[in-house]
Structure 1
């Protein structure tokens, strides 16, 4: 199902739902601007979230953005491990429901 060429269809989505998509793009831009967190940190967070949601589009796009912001292999690797720990932790904590 994943095909990076599908991202070309965003133009159709932008045109078909202009008001909502304009709001989305403005929100997205604001979320990733420098602030209390650096752009690199925000992109590393996005990589970790993308790993947990397992979105190949987000993994690809935010990995590139993180690298463009200066992230190196070690930082990306640690972000991936944080994502793995969160996913594993969710399974472990939900396992407590087995013992009711």
Structure 2
């Protein structure tokens, strides 16, 4: 049976602090259920949020590219929650239907060729070492 989300009003102070940081950082009125469920373990909530905030924050990769990578990995890992959450974030950042379609084509092709290379046990070319 899945854990129920911990709502802001029912959360301990340390959890509310993380929720407030998420809402401020993402400029959203509420946090996603993902955060509300992992809040059952406040240390995991805080650690995961701090890591995600750092990785997905400003860097050399464009924010849209980061979200699209997150979607691609989520598709490969079959995490429906993460696919929809990061697809929504990518669309807010400007991802078009055409870009989503191309992204899915790349994900599908990468998974296919990865499995073929693994199944055939293809050795790495000397020039790629």
TM-score interval, smaller chain: 0.7 to 0.9
- The alignment status of 1:8 with 2:51, answered yes or no, reads no
Counting helix residues as a fraction of each chain, which structure ranks higher? 1
What's the CA shift for 1:20?
A: 2.3
Structure 2: how far apart are the matches of 1:62 and 1:42?
Answer: 9
| Aligned alpha-carbon RMSD (Å) | 2.0
Highest CA radius of gyration, 1 or 2?
Answer: 2
What's the CA shift for 1:12?
A: 4.4
- Paired residues in the alignment total 92
Correspondence for 2:84: 60
Structure 1 residues 96 and 58, CA gap change in structure 2 (3 angstroms): same
Task: Mark the runs of 5 or more structure 2 residues left unpaired by the alignment.
Answer: 6-31, 122-129
Structure 2: how far apart are the matches of 1:68 and 1:18?
Answer: 29
| TM-score, normalised via structure 1 length | 0.80
Q: How does 1:32-71 map to 2 (within 5 A)?
A: 32-71=56-95
Structure 1: how far apart are the matches of 2:74 and 2:117?
Answer: 21
Task: Mark the runs of 5 or more structure 1 residues left unpaired by the alignment.
Answer: none
What's the CA shift for 1:90?
A: 1.8
| TM-score, normalised via structure 2 length | 0.63
**4+ residue segments displaced more than 6 Å:** none
